[in-house]
A and B are shown apart, each in its own frame.
Chain A
Amino acid sequence: MQKKVKIYSSQYCTFCLTAKNFFKKHGIVYEDINVQEDEQAARYITDLTQQTTIPVIIIDDKEVIVGFDEAKLKKALEIKE
């Protein structure tokens, strides 16, 4: 079963887009939360990561990846190629 993927992003963030394109390319279903429209979510990720950079990607409510890190994502999502 695919792991649960949440991405905290904004509309014009370049690496948020890169991450979402990466998910699409690999057929990963993800929940997209726009931090510019959801204040609570914004506060949640800044408290969680102690910084303001997005995207913040949370996998299975456990693993937190800040920024777009392809290698880390591949490992976390068990993408082999």
Chain B
Amino acid sequence: MNKEELRKHSNIYAEGVGYKLNPDKETVDRILEGLMKNEEKFGARYCPCRVITGNKEQDSKIICPCEYHHSEIEVLGRCACNLFLRRNSNNSLDTRAPKMKDRRHYNWDITSKTHLLFVEHSSSNGICSNCVKCGLCEIGLKARTGRTPFPEVFGGSQFGAEKRLPDLHDLQILPEIIGEEVFFKEVDTSVKIGGFNISVPLSIAAIGSTKIGFENRKELSAGAALAGIPVVIGENVYASHGEEGLKLSIKSFLDNYQNKGAIIVQANAEDQKAGVPEKAVSMGAQGIELKLGQGAKMGLGGEVKFKGKELAEKYKKIGYRVVEEGEDMYERHSSPGSIILEDLKQKLIQYSELKVPIWIKVATGHGIIELLEFLSETKKKENIKLDAVTLDGYGGGTGMSPWMIMNEFGLPSASILSKLKSMNFSVIVAGGYCDGSDVAKALMLGADAVSMGRPFLIAANVAQEKGVQRFAGAIQEELQMISACLRKKKLLYIQGMRDNLYPLSRDVADMFGLH
């Protein structure tokens, strides 16, 4: 390949993943010449700004485009050798509101250090139509590891599906033209959801034991209390961080509690075995959430990698499946749990004795309507304290799940709302929601509230508990504006206003049951 061909290939690559080639021709010429010289001398286009060690495996990481360039571009705006740059701020990709779907290139590259197969690259199978043999694609990764790709920063980042499905953004809100003026600042957003008074129909989704979740736990809890919304402490916190871990979150909430919102502790199959709901309530938790499933995992349990035999023994003792990977590395597979309706009923009766509201979280797969109707019937017949069910759908976040599961399973949770009869518990939807219009559309389709995880985690990362409070405040303002445009003085009244949603395609109409 000559220099001009290589320039063309590099340019195709840069454009394809959302970067650009350095506009300084002299710099690019030098690097391209270096790459060609390295290919001639060492057999591959090794980065001229890195040391070739002679160790093939090690050196394969520095074949251009090297393994490090995504994180370098994220941090520095350029790769180490200055060949690839972040796109200019005048580029539409960078200046739009940070919707996850618009930032997909950045997200998947940085976190997984690989390019997953996506149709934007080329034909429908996702294989690059102009393969430059970089070997960084999903096929290359599988060839090197023999495993399905997982996001690589185990528990240190947050992840979610990237595939573009028809979703709430394909619904336009139609304002009410006739009616009395409503000043948006005066719209009342308070509601009673899942057994609690809350200031805006939002909840912070269960964020569990993974590093990123636990590091922000205090801020999320305090922020929820300040915002007056519920926050759920996610799974495995007790197993990973002990009673102190649970106490920390509960205390931060209660210290800032202003009679709105709630602190709820989630329990997955292992947590239930370990008696987490009982412990949490005795520590001051105001509700419990039984985890039956998660949108980003849809049938898998929590998958965690960690180091150390001692920890492995501890997890085994609690009841986790622990698999040794070699070099003192282990994988912990927590149980997704069985859903046997009769057993579930007994469990609900048992946990009702704790005298706090019970929430359930479940993934929206096949059988969900049957499950919800069973729960509704059970509540009618038995004296159970079931107060909310969170339907977690496609687009939901996680600290850990294989990309394949995140992308290829499930539907947006709001798509099942049209199939539900009126339920005797709150129906909360979750999975990929991140702004006020998402929340409003879900309410208009019939949901009682929306649960968000990753947006609150980002807010906590940016400005701690104040960030959480401000973010909830911004969503509240957006909801007030939408409610005013629909001429409703109470946000509650926009619930079920399906006629004010216009589907942009027949597929979208079918998905959300809008005809």
Contacts and interface: CB of A to CB of B under 8 A. Distances in A.
Given A10-B49, A15-B49, 15 more contacts: A11-B48, A12-B31, A13-B48, A14-B31, A14-B81, A15-B82, A35-B51, A36-B52, A39-B54, A42-B51, A43-B53, A46-B53, A52-B53, A52-B58, A53-B80
A14 B50 contact: no
Contacts of B48: 10-14
B51 A11 contact: no
B49 A46 contact: no
Nearest to B49: A13
Contact of A13 (B54, B58, B81): B81
B104 interface: no
A72 to B, nearest CB: 15
Contacts of B49: 10, 13-16, 53-54
Interface of B: 27, 30-31, 33-35, 37-38, 41, 48-54, 58, 62, 80-82
A14 B27 contact: yes
A77 to B, nearest CB: 22
Contacts of A52: 50-51, 53, 58, 62
B49 to A, nearest CB: 4
A53 B48 CA distance: 9
Contacts, number: 55
A33 to B, nearest CB: 11
B81 A10 contact: no
A7 interface: no
Interface in A62-78: 67
Most buried by A among B31, B53, B80: B80
| Interface size bracket, A side | 10 to 19
Interface of A: 10-17, 35-36, 39, 42-43, 45-46, 52-54, 67
Contacts of B33: 12
Given A52-B62, A53-B80, A67-B80, A14 B52 contact: no
B50 A12 contact: no
A66 to B, nearest CB: 10
Contacts of A14: 27, 30-31, 48-49, 81-82
7 contacts: A10-B34, A11-B34, A11-B37, A13-B34, A14-B48, A52-B62, A54-B49
A5 to B, nearest CB: 19
B512 to A, nearest CB: 50
Nearest to A43: B53
Contacts of A54: 49-51
A15 B81 contact: yes
Contacts of B50: 52-54
B80 A12 contact: no
A25 B52 CA distance: 29
Given A52-B62, A53-B80, A67-B80, A12 B37 contact: yes
B72 to A, nearest CB: 9
Nearest to A66: B80
A31 B140 CA distance: 40
Contact of A46 (B30, B41, B51): B51
A17 B30 CA distance: 10
Contacts of B51: 35, 42, 45-46, 52-54
A3 B41 CA distance: 35
Contacts of B81: 13-15
Contacts of A13: 34, 48-49, 81
Nearest to A46: B51
Most buried by B among A17, A39, A45, A52: A52
A37 to B, nearest CB: 10
A79 B256 CA distance: 52
Nearest to A17: B30
